[in-house]
Amino acid sequence: MLKFGICEKDITPKVGLNMPGYFHFRPSQGVLDPLYVKAMVFENGDECFVFVVCDAVELYRKHTIGIRRLVAEKCDMNPENISVSVTHSHTAGPTWTWEKSYFEDEEYSGFLIEKAAEAVCEAYTTRKPAHMSSAFGKLPGVAFIRRFYLKDGSFAMNPDPDLVKCAESVPDETFILLKVEYEDGTPVAFIENFALHADSVGKDVISADYPGVVAQLVKEKYGENVHNVFINSAAGDVNHIDVERLKGGNVADYKECGKKIFEKIVELSERLSPCKCEDVIPKTMYFSVKKRKPTERNYDIAKRILSGEDIDFDGYNNDDVTKRIFAIAAKSCYESEVKEFEVEIKTLKLGDVYFAIWPGEVFCEFAKLVRGANPDKIVAISAQANNTVDCYVPGKTAFENGGYETRESVELMPDKNAGYEIAENTIKLFKSY
């Protein structure tokens, strides 16, 4: 019998702390809407699995380890079966440091870890018999590829729309919905999976971005006790900016994105099918990926920038702060003696849905690759999970084209084969069910 528990805790930071996500220090000026950490416990027989989803731009591996360790101390639960991911809100709390651009607040990180562990333990102790139903479809016109070939033969991310020739690829518009009801038919939670950067607020105020809008709309329609959990998919190369619409001078904001996602929830909820089985079967794989090494030329340019020379990396025209940030990262990445590092991936058979749980800001290419290899399965992707990769995971075409996401931004960056290794190992795990 399936048992389900859910709990959410407020993790809204104090006003005035920095909000990571851009290339400059941004102290928050107020609170647009609160931030939450949400924990969902799924149990069937001897197996138990937990999703922890934080309204945050990114977490470190230490956050995942801290949450797992604290839960293990308080609950009779296998910490390996806890997955910690983020919604990737760019207007969230100070969980991340990037050179001189912004800084993690250790006190806030400790607070987030404690609240996440509290949410998991409360969800576990309040779990009840439940049933799941699922539906899936496409949600077009919300997520767009943000990398483009330009008319002059160059390449750019989020360029002037008048310069655009065509997008590098096409977005993954897959939308998956799960609904959980208690045994008496009382709705308790909607869980949706879709790929979209949470960066559509555009103000220096604390906000969960569009996932917060969706959660509020769900409560307004289905009741205050009904939770909504947004699990972001492989959104490394997609955002809310439609270049055709941008020619008219505007783009969708967080409210519009949230409303469209909510409307899809309402649409799919009319054709939910009860899960044929209520399995909870997690699997974990650890494997090594090679560390990327900057070119000799980029290393030389990085050293020259850091020595004070007025120079930039080939193909870029950044301000002094931004190019210095990338120079520090390129230099440390080049000089690191680490040749490879360990990556954690998970899969979860949850009822009729198969979850692939991946680290990093994975490009949508890899979600499509795994779904293509499993046409008989409903495949959901939980990206930016468990933090063994702290950067983008682009495909080979993206590396050939270059651009923002392919630049060295942290010391340990996987090489161009990592995304394919993640996808291939996920396919292997799916085959083992």
Q: Are 396 and 369 in contact (CB under 8 A)?
A: no
Per-residue pLDDT of 259-316, as tens digits, reads 999 999 999 999 999 998 889 999 999 999 999 888 899 899 999 999 999 988 876 7
SS3 295: coil
Closest CA to 212 of 261, 144, 272, 179: 261
User: What is the band of 100 on the pLDDT scale with cuts at 50, 70, 90?
Assistant: low
* Cα–Cα nearest to 258, from 305, 318, 308, 196: 196
- Residue 375 vs residues 82, 123, 395, 408, 430: alpha-carbon distances, Å: 27, 33, 21, 35, 12
Determine how many CB atoms are found less than 10 A away from the CB of residue 347.
25
Confirm if 33 and 207 have CB atoms less than 8 A apart: yes
pLDDT of residue 423: 98
| CA gap 357, 284 in Å, rounded | 9
Q: What tokens does 214 get? A: 């969706």
Mean pLDDT of 115-142: 97
Q: How confident is the model at residue 6 (pLDDT cuts 50, 70, 90)?
A: very high
